[in-house]
Structure 1
Amino acid sequence: MKENTSLKTTLNIVAIALVAFSGIMAETAMNVTFPALSHEFHTNLNAIQWVTTAYLLAVTIMITTSSYLIKRYSSRHLWLASIVFFVIGTLICGLSSNLTFLILGRVLEGIAAGIAMPLVFNIVVATVPAAKIGAWMGIASMIISLAPSFGPTYGGALADTFGWRSIFFILLIAPTISLILGWKTVFAIERHEVQGSFDVLAFLSLAIFLTSSLLLVNKLESGKVDWSWLMIAVITLILFVLRGTTSKANFINLKLFTHPKFIALLIPIAVYMFILLGLNLIIPTYLQYFLHVSSFWAGFSLLPGALIGALLAPMFGRLYDLKGAKLPLYLGNAIFTVIIIMMTLWIPRLSLPLIITLYILFIIGRNMAYTSAQTAVIVDEDPLEKADAMAIVQTLQMFMGALGTTVGALLQAKYGAVNGLQHFSWLSVVLAILIFGLFAVYFSRKLQVKRV
C-alpha cells in the first residue's frame, strides 16, 4: 500500500463523511429548539426528545447492518443510498405538520447516517496506510464532529430568525456538496465477499431489543417500571444472543465479545457517547429554563468546545500514531473526569461564560480519549473482523447516545433543569472513574497482544 493518501481517496472520505455530518448537524441543531417545538406541538419535553432519540435509534439499528452491507454492496451504491434517504427525510422534517411526521423524517435521516458513518471509517481502514490510520481516523472524526460543533449555534440562530423548519431546508446544501465531491471519487473498496444470507431474525430481535429498552427507560418518568417493555427487552435480547451464537447466516459477529481487550475499550467508547449526548441535550435546556438565555446563546454555549475538540481530533490521532494508546487514553480521561467533577460541584452557580469554559476542557479530554479508543479497538482486530468490530462499536455508542438523550430528558422532566443536570453529572462522574479501571484491563500484561 502506498505511504501517501491520494487526493481521490481524500475526497472519497470527505464526501461520505459529509452525509454523516448532515444527519448529526440536524440532530444537534434541533436540541436547542425543544422549548419551541414543545409549544408548537402542545406536548412536553419528554415527548419532544424523541425527535433526537428516534434519530439516534434509527442510526443505531441501521449500523447493526453495516458489516453485512459493506461486504454485500459497493461503497458507491451505499453512499448514494445514504444521500437519497437523507434528502427525503430532511424534506419531510421541514414540511412536517405534526410531531409524528417530524419524527418520521428524523428516522429517515438516521438511516442515512447509519449507512454513512461506518462506511467512512471502513474506507479509512481499507485505503489509508497503516502508519497514518490514527491521523485519518482523527480527520474523519473531525469532519463528523464539526456537526455537533456548529449544530446548536446553527439551530439556535435559525430558530430565532427564520423558524426551526429552516434548519432542514438549508441543511440540504451538505448532501449537494457531497455529490459534487464524490461523484467521480467515491469508488468501490476491496471487500471480503459475504457468504450466506442476511440473518433477518437476529436483526429484528436486536432492533426490537434496542427500541424496547429505550421505551422502558422513557416510561420511568411515571415513576414505575413498565413490565411489558421489560419482558420484551429481555426476551428479544435472549433470542438475539441465541440466534447470533448458533446461526450461520450473516449479521454481527458475537465472538468479538469474548475478546477482553475489545470489551475494555468498547465500554468506554459507549460511555463517552452517553455522557456527551446527554449533556448536549441538558445544557442548552438548563441555560434556557434556568438562566433564561435565548436559543442562540444556549446553542452557542457548546460551539467553542465542540469546534476546538473537532479541530484537535487529527492531532489526537497523530498522538496515537506516535505514542500509542496509553498516553491519550489516560490523559484524556483524567481531564474528562476532573472537569465533570468541577461542573457537578458548581451547580447551580454555573454561568454562561463558565459553562463555555468547562465545556471546552470537557471536550478536549473526552475527544483525546475517545478518538484513541476508537482507533485502537479497530486496529487490534483481525482484518476479517474489522467490519464487524466497527459495526459493534458504532452500534453500541449510538445506542448509548440515544440512551443518554433519553436519560437526560427524563431527569430534567422529573427533577427540573438544575437538579436534572446535577443528577446526570453525578452519574457521569461515577462512569468516568470506572473507565480508568477498564483502561487498566486493556493494558494488562496478561492481555497484551501484538498490534496489527
Structure 2
Amino acid sequence: MSQSQRQPDSAVVQNSADSERIPPRLIGAIVAVGSLAFIGILTETVMTVLFPALMREFNVDTATVQWITTIYLLSVAASMPISSFLKRRFRLKAIFLAAVALGVTGSLIMIVAQAFPLMILARIIQGVGSGVATPLMINIILEQSPRSKIGRLMGVGSLVITVAPAIGPTVGGAVTSVLPWRAIFVGAVPLMLIAAVIGCICIEQRTPTEDAYLDPVQLCLIVLALVGLVLALNQGGVAVSAAVSGGVTARPGIIAVVSLIVGLGSLILFAKTSQRAFSPLLRLGILRDPAVLLHAVAYLLLPLVGIGYGYVITNVSQLSLGTSAFVAGSLVLPGALIGAVCAPVGGWFYDRFGAVKPILIPLGIAILGPVLMLVFSMHLTPGLLAGFYFIFGFFYAIGNANVMTSGLSEVPHEFRPDGNAIFNTCLQFGGAAGTALFSTVLTVAQAGAGAEGTPRFAHATAVGGAWTFAVMIVICLIGWGCLASAFRIRARRGAIKV
C-alpha cells in the first residue's frame, strides 16, 4: 500500500477517535444539571432520617410525616412527563435555570417554614425543580455522548444522583446533632447557585427547538393519575391501621377508594387521549414493544425497594433498636456510598459485555440483602442492618444503573426523549409509592402498640420491619423476572449480546 493510501486511512482513524472522546464541557453539563437532582434527593433522604424528630415537632404520626418525602417524589414524578415537551420547546439552559429557580425557592421556604403544610408546599416546589433537572441530564447524555461511551456516562449520571442517598441520612444525623435541621437548606442554596454558574458555562444546545404544544388536558390527567394512585395507597394504609387499632376507618377508606378510581380512570383517559393527539405529551406507543414495557415495569418496581430501603432501616433502627438519628443515618452510608461509586462500573460492564449479565447477575445477588433482613428480622443489630444493606446497595447500584440504558436502546432515536420521560416517571413514582407502601406497613404494625419508646412499640416496629422485608423480596423477584423476560424477547430477535 502506498503512502498516499495510508494517510487517508490514518485520518479516518484519527477522526473516529476524536468523535469518541468525551468533551470536558459535557462532563461539566452533566455535573451541573445532576447537582440539582443531587441536592433534591439529598434533602429528601436527610428528612427521612429526621422523621421521628419531625413527628414530635409537628405533632404528626408516621403515616403523615412520610408525606414530606412522598410529596417530593410525587411532585418529581408529576413533572417528569413534561420533560419531552420542555426539551422540544425550550433551550436547555432556559430549562436548567428554571429548575435552579424552583430549587432555590423551595429551599428558602423550608428555611422559614413553621407549619407542616408550608413544608409540604416547599417540597412540592423542590420536587418540580428536580423533576425538570433529572431528565434534562439524561437527555444531554443521550444526545451528546459518543456512542461507545453512553453506558459509562449514564453511570456517571447515576453517580451524581445516587451519591445523595448515600450521604443523606448521615448528613441529616450529623448536622442535626450540632445545628438545627434547617441549616441543611441554608447550605443547599449556595450549592445550587454554584451549579447554575457551571451550567451556564457548559451546557450546549446541539438541536434546534420546535413549536411543540402542551395539551393541558393530558397534563392534568397524568398528574391526577399519579396523585390519585399514591394517595389511594397512603389512605388505604391509614384505613387499615385505624381498623387494627379500633379507630374510625370510614374517612380514610372513602378517600382511598375515590383516589384509586380517580387515579386509574385518569391513567386510562390519558392513554386514550395520547393515542388520538397530534402532539401527545408522551408518545406511549413505544410501550407497545414488550421488551421496552417490561424494562419500564422493572424500573417502576425496583425503585420501590431501592428508595424505600433507606427509610425502613433508619426508622427501624431508631424506633425498634433505639439508636440516635446520627447512628441510624450512618447505617445506610456504607452500602449506599459504595453503590453510588460503583454505578459507573456498572455502565462500563454494560459497554463491555452487553445488557444481560451486567443487569441480571448483580440484581439477583442484591435480593440476598432483604432475604437476610427477613431471616434475622427479630434479632437485628445496627451492625447487621448496615451489613445486609451493604450487600443490597452494592449489587443493586451496579445492575439498576443499566436498566434504563438497556430499555432505551430499543427505542428509536427520535422518541428517546419520550422514553426518558416515561422511565424517569416510573423511577420517581416507584420511589413515592415505595415510601408510602413501607411507611403504611410500619404504621399498621405499630397500630395499638402504645407510645413511642416503649418495649411494646419497639417490638411492633420490628415486626413491621419483617413484613416490609418480605414485601421487598416479592417486589425484587417480580422486577427481576420482568427483566429476564425482556431479555428473552430481545434474544429471540438476535439483538443483544448474551
The answer to whether TM tops 0.5 is: yes
Whole-angstrom distance in 2 between the partners of 1:7 and 1:359: 35
Q: 2:44 matched to 1:32?
A: no
Deviation at 1:249, TM superposition (A): 2.8
In the other structure, the counterpart of 2:467 is 423
Partner AA of 2:39 in structure 1: S
CA contact (8 A) 2:354 2:496 kept: no
How far apart, in 2, do the equivalents of 1:292 and 1:71 lie? 51
Aligned 8 A contact 1:90 1:168 in 2: yes
Indicate the SS of the match to 1:444.
helix
Aligned counterpart, 1:327:
357
The equivalent residue for 1:138 is 155
Alignment of 1:346-425 (within 5 A): 346-416=376-446, 417-425=461-469
Question: Cα deviation per residue 1:173-217 (whole Å; 9 max; x = unaligned)?
Answer: 3212212322211222325x5455212111101101111111111
Is structure 2 residue 205 aligned with structure 1 residue 185? no
Coordinate RMSD, CA, aligned? 1.6
Aligned ranges 1:122-137 → 2 under 5 Å:
122-137=139-154
From 283, 287, 290, the equivalent of 2:313 is 283
Question: Given residue 293 of structure 1, which amino acid in structure 2 is its aligned partner?
Answer: T
The answer to whether the Cα contact below 8 Å between 1:196 and 1:250 also exists between their aligned partners in 2 is no
AA aligned opposite 1:249: S
Range moving further from structure 2, 171-180 or 256-265: 171-180
Q: CA deviation at 1:450?
A: 3.7
Query: Given the alignment of the two structures, is residue 197 of structure 1 paired with residue 207 of structure 2, yes or no?
Result: no
Task: Supply the distance in 2 between the matched residues of 1:70 and 1:45 (Cα, whole angstroms).
Answer: 38
8 Å CA contact 1:93–1:103 kept in 2: the answer is: no
The 1:436–1:277 alpha-carbon spacing in structure 2 relative to 1, beyond 3 Å, is closer
The amino acid of 2:297's aligned partner reads I
2:119 to 102, 121, 127: 102
Q: Secondary structure at the match of 2:379?
A: coil
Per-residue CA deviations over 1:309-346 (Å, capped at 9, x if unaligned) read 11111111000000001111111121111222111111
Q: Distance in 1 between matches of 2:378 and 2:155?
A: 35
The amino acid that maps onto 1:443 is: F
In the alignment, structure 1 residue 308 sits paired with structure 2 residue 302: no
What do the CA deviations read for 1:336-394 (whole angstroms, capped 9, x no partner)? 11222111111021111111111111011211221111211122211111100000000
How many aligned residue pairs are there?
451
| Whole-Å separation in 2 of the counterparts to 1:346 and 1:268 | 27
1:204-243 to structure 2, matched below 5 A, reads 204-220=220-236, 221-223=238-240, 225-226=253-254, 227-243=257-273
Distance of 1:210 and 1:5 partners within structure 2: 37
Q: 1:445 to 1:93 in 2, by over 3 A?
A: closer
Contact 2:142 2:150 in 1 (8 A): yes
Tell me which structure has the larger Cα radius of gyration: 2
Q: Which amino acid aligns with 1:343?
A: M
Aligned 1:26-175 pairs, distance under 5 A: 26-175=43-192
| Conservation of the 8 A alpha-carbon contact between 1:316 and 1:372 | yes
CA distance in structure 1 between the partners assigned to 2:167 and 2:193 by the alignment: 18
* Cα deviation digits, residues 64-116 of structure 1 (max 9, x gap): 10011011111111111110000000010111010011111111110110011
Could you tell me how far apart the structure 1 residues matched to 2:373 and 2:60 are?
30
Q: Is the 8 A contact 1:285 1:298 kept in 2?
A: yes
Measure, in 2, the Cα distance between the counterparts of 1:426 and 1:376: 28
Higher mean alpha-carbon deviation, 175-184 vs 139-148, is at 175-184
Which residue of 1 is the match for residue 327 of structure 2? Answer: 297
Moved more, 265-274 or 222-231: 222-231
Letter in 1 for 2:375: L
The answer to whether the 8 Å contact 1:51/1:106 transfers is yes
Distance in 2 between the 1:196 and 1:103 partners?
32
* Preserved contact between residue 89 and residue 211 of structure 2 (Cα < 8 Å): no
Q: TM-score, normalised by structure 2?
A: 0.88
Q: Contact between 2:154 and 2:347, CA under 8 Å: does it hold in 1?
A: yes
Aligned counterparts of 1:133 and 1:307: Cα–Cα separation in 2: 23
CA displacement at 1:17 relative to structure 2: 0.6
CA deviation string 1:204-263 (max 9, x = no partner): 011011111111111112126432222222321222122111111330111012111101
Separation (CA, whole Å) in 1 of partners of 2:261 and 2:297? 24
Q: Which residue of structure 2 aligns with residue 262 of structure 1?
A: 292
Pair 1:448 & 2:463 matched: no
Q: What are the Cα deviations for residues 9-55 of structure 1, in whole angstroms up to 9, with x where unaligned?
A: 11111111101111011001100111111111111121111100110
Distance in 2 between the 1:353 and 1:180 partners?
42
Q: Displacement of 1:445 after TM fit?
A: 5.1
Which letter maps to 1:213?
A: L
- The answer to whether the Cα contact below 8 Å between 1:123 and 1:189 also exists between their aligned partners in 2 is no
Matched residue, 2:280: 250
Partner Cα distance (1:110, 1:124) in 2: 22
Q: Is the 8 A contact 2:38 2:164 kept in 1?
A: yes
TM-score by length of structure 1 reads 0.96
Is the 1:21–1:144 Cα contact (8 Å) retained in structure 2? yes
Partner Cα distance (1:236, 1:180) in 2: 40
**308-317 vs 420-429, which moves further:** 420-429
Conservation of the 8 A alpha-carbon contact between 2:360 and 2:484: no
Q: Which runs of 5+ in 1 are unaligned?
A: none
CA contact (8 A) 2:301 2:475 kept: yes
**Paired residues of 1:60 and 1:394 also in contact (CA < 8 A):** yes
Unpaired segments of 5 or more residues in structure 2? Answer: 1-17, 241-248, 447-460
C-alpha separation in 2, matches of 1:102 and 1:241: 33
Q: Is the 2:88–2:211 contact (alpha carbons within 8 Å) kept by the matching residues of 1?
A: no
**Rounded Cα–Cα distance in structure 1 between residues aligned with 2:206 and 2:310:** 35
In structure 1, how many angstroms separate the alpha carbons of the residues matched to 2:371 and 2:463?
A: 15
